[in-house]
Amino acid sequence: MAFGLMSVIPLLICFYLISVRFFGGSLAILEGANGAYFLLALIIAMLGLLAGRRVIQEIFQRLVDANQTLRRMYDQQAAFVGNVAHEFRAPLAVMKGALDNLADGLHGSLSSDQAEPVTMSQREASRLARLVNDLLDVTRIEAGRLRLSQQSVVLQELLTSVAQMFSGPIRERGLHVTIDMPEQPVTIIGDRDRLKQVFVNLMGNAVKFTKQGTISVRLTQDHAIAQIEIEDTGPGIAEADLERIFDKFERVGDQSEEGSGLGLPIAKDLIQLHHGIIVAESHLGKGSRFIVTLPMQPPSGSAHPAAPTAARAS
């Protein structure tokens, strides 16, 4: 109704201007029919503005109420997921400890028929434990409760330790790894454990999806920015899927591979908490490259042991 009233105004103004054009521009235009047109237009305009303001206020209030309701539901859902994940940790730890004891022979040696289901149960318990930890990380990050430590981190040391963690799977798959880093230490301020979590995820994905070929790790610096690239020769990611890989619970590519769909979203959130950026580039059949940029620590006189340049392992 408000906008209907306001739509009449231009027509009345046209009548008014036509009257002014043909009957002169003196104060006489406010007399008689011209004055009536003007007054009517003014009254309708005021009514329309008042009614429109009220309608807009009501719409805005409904949107605010709906947003608050959605926010409460989201908070309740996140709290529920966090509580459930937290409650899962204790029984999972007990189960995993018992399975490890069985596998280590603390309760007697296992036959081959017994060892196989125990090993399978260990693997699944570890997978559930990773999923629980990922869910807890997601809820903490989204609730703003994840606190990062602030310490000096030499990226050469961090990336070298991450690569060494995957030396076993790399040998088993017959892959080659190249690590190219500057001799001068590249240092940032951040949480070493959380940054390691990011690069373990990226390196783990590269190893998991690369059946043959090379995984390359490169570290460069440009003024106050450090850039880390992890590139593989795996199957690559379709362009349509590339936009979704950082969305929570999204899994693309080979669905037979284990994963919760939380690793990359958590990595993105952790990098953003470090005031950095993570992006992905990929082409089907040509592999993928993940690029992380992080702000560096201002130069200081402290010395750090240098990492080897262009180290190669296979």
Q: Round the average pLDDT of the chain to a whole number and report it.
A: 80
Average pLDDT score over residue span 113-137: 85
Sort 307 into a burial class: Cβ within 10 Å, 0-12 / 13-18 / 19+: buried
Q: Do 175 and 116 belong together in one domain?
A: no
Cα distances from 38 to residues 32, 49, 314, in angstroms, run 10, 16, 87
pLDDT at 271 over 80: yes
Q: CATH number of the domain at 300, please.
A: 3.30.565.10
Q: Do 128 and 162 belong together in one domain?
A: no
Q: Do 10 and 139 belong together in one domain?
A: yes
Looking at the structure of the chain, the number of domains it has is 2
Prediction pTM value: 0.65
Q: Average the pLDDT over each of 185-189, 210-214, 240-244 and give the range with the smallest value.
A: 240-244
Q: Do 110 and 21 belong together in one domain?
A: yes
Q: Do 132 and 166 belong together in one domain?
A: no
Q: Do 174 and 299 belong together in one domain?
A: yes
pLDDT in the model for residue 105: 84
Q: Do 160 and 281 belong together in one domain?
A: yes
pLDDT at 33 over 80: no
pLDDT at 304 over 50: no
At 61, which amino acid appears? Answer: Q
Cα distances from 214 to residues 227, 229, 239, 266, 284, in angstroms, run 20, 13, 22, 25, 16
221 membership: H or E segment, kind and range: strand 214-222
pLDDT in the model for residue 299: 44
Structural domain span for residue 9: 1-146
Q: Do 277 and 173 belong together in one domain?
A: yes
Q: Do 83 and 177 belong together in one domain?
A: no
Q: Do 177 and 283 belong together in one domain?
A: yes
Domain boundary (88, 116, 146) is at: 146
Q: Do 188 and 232 belong together in one domain?
A: yes
Name the token pair of 101: 């004891």
